[in-house]
Amino acid sequence: MRRCLQLAEHGKGCVAPNPMVGSVIVCKGKIIGEGFHRQYGSSHAEVNAINMVKDHFLLKESTLYVNLEPCSHYGKTPPCAELIIKKQIPKVVIGTLDPFPEVAGKGVGMLKEAGIELTVGILEDECQRLNRRFFTFHQKHRPYIFLKWAQSSDGFIDRIRQEGDGQLPVRFSDDFTQIMVHKMRAEESAIMVGSRTEKLDKPQLNVRCWFGQNPLIIKPLRENPLALQMQELYEQKIQSLVVEGGACLLQSFIDENLWDEARIEVSNIKLNAGVDAPVLSGVLKNVHKCKKTSVLIFHNHFKP
């Protein structure tokens, strides 16, 4: 199952709104096939793993491992559960059930009805964590929300600036953390900044220091409650959103408890005065030490 998770992660940034899925086929203690979902609209992990097996007769003596319940419906591709049954694979081990209403236990039901021996719930927390965007989207009916900002060592995100005063924003990021930001943009569906940040900084909000697609730029609507706008993004099938600034917009997401992960770059630069950084409470999960900054990763108690 850990190998399934490793494989699945290769699809990050390429498969949304589908989940990241990896699959491994084992026969008599030996891996004979493995695969992952590479691109939205292309074949699923189970199909790729089965296609890797040179002798399909061995499938009748094998166990198929997959981190997410095999699909049971016709979408862009035929149901994986049907293929597993057709190939007479006798055992299937599943990390977690699929929250998508079109599947949600139906895949397991099809396999059980066909007499396949099932084990469900292996590394379940890790499997759900990998696809936290997918689970949040289907269970909370909103995107998975990342908050991101950079700040000085004494808690300011910028100097006090006014439109037209010619002052540039303070750059806290170093080359490495800038790459991390662009990688993050490439992996998520959409990005948002406040209107003041847009006027002052005119950020491009695209992917330049990494490979991948540019996120969709979302403009916050002042008279529209954030929860309602997140509902609209759900209806547009946007699974993840990065909120990059400014301080007021970030704090409004925090105050309404509309966030799942926060990535805060803390620089060794000291400003002494300026625009206060947002304040949040969450669980500090990781710290990445860079040359001039530390990147703090907070989670807001992810519960699928």
CB of 35 within 8 A of CB of 46?
yes
Structure tokens at 195: 């209107």
Determine if the peptide bond prior to 169 is cis (ω within 30°): no
Average pLDDT over residues 8-16: 93
Q: Model's pTM, two decimal places?
A: 0.90
Other CB atoms closer than 10 Å to residue 229's CB: what's the count? Answer: 18
Average pLDDT over residues 172-198: 90
Q: How confident is the model at residue 304 (pLDDT cuts 50, 70, 90)?
A: very low
**Which of 171, 128, 161, 194 has its CA nearest to residue 274?**
161
The pLDDT of residue 55 is 95
Predicted confidence (pLDDT) at residue 122 exceeds the cutoff of 80: yes
The pLDDT of residue 166 is 72
Higher pLDDT, 201 or 107: 107
Q: How confident is the model at residue 302 (pLDDT cuts 50, 70, 90)?
A: low
Structure tokens at 9: 């992660």
The pLDDT of residue 173 is 86
How many angstroms separate the CA atoms of 101 and 103, rounded?
5
How many angstroms separate the CA atoms of 293 and 170, rounded?
14
Q: pLDDT tens across 192-247, in order?
A: 998 888 877 778 889 998 888 899 999 888 788 999 999 999 999 999 999 998 89
DSSP state letter for 8? H
The pLDDT of residue 161 is 80
Higher pLDDT, 245 or 276: 276
CB of 62 within 8 A of CB of 89?
yes
Higher pLDDT, 69 or 159: 69
Q: Rounded to the nearest 5°, which phi and psi values hold at 153?
A: -65, -25
46 noted as active-site residue: yes
The pLDDT of residue 116 is 97
Other CB atoms closer than 10 Å to residue 40's CB: what's the count? Answer: 12
Structure tokens at 286: 């990781």
Predicted confidence (pLDDT) at residue 261 exceeds the cutoff of 80: yes
SS3 state at 19:
coil
Lowest model confidence (mean pLDDT) among 53-67, 128-142, 196-210, 245-259: 196-210
**Active-site annotation holder among 34, 46, 187, 265:** 46
DSSP state letter for 9? G
Q: pLDDT tens across 134-163, in order?
A: 999 999 999 999 999 999 999 999 988 877
Average pLDDT over residues 70-74: 84
DSSP string of 50-77, one letter each residue: HHH-S-GGGGGGEEEEEEE----S-SSS
Tell me the average pLDDT of the chain. 92
Predicted confidence (pLDDT) at residue 301 exceeds the cutoff of 80: no
Predicted confidence (pLDDT) at residue 303 exceeds the cutoff of 70: no
How many angstroms separate the CA atoms of 295 and 288, rounded?
5
Predicted confidence (pLDDT) at residue 169 exceeds the cutoff of 90: no
Structure tokens at 97: 């059930």
Q: DSSP strand E in the chain: where?
A: 22-27, 30-36, 62-68, 91-96, 117-120, 144-151, 156-158, 190-193, 216-218, 240-245, 261-267, 275-276, 283-289, 293-299
The pLDDT of residue 210 is 87
CB of 158 within 8 A of CB of 169?
yes
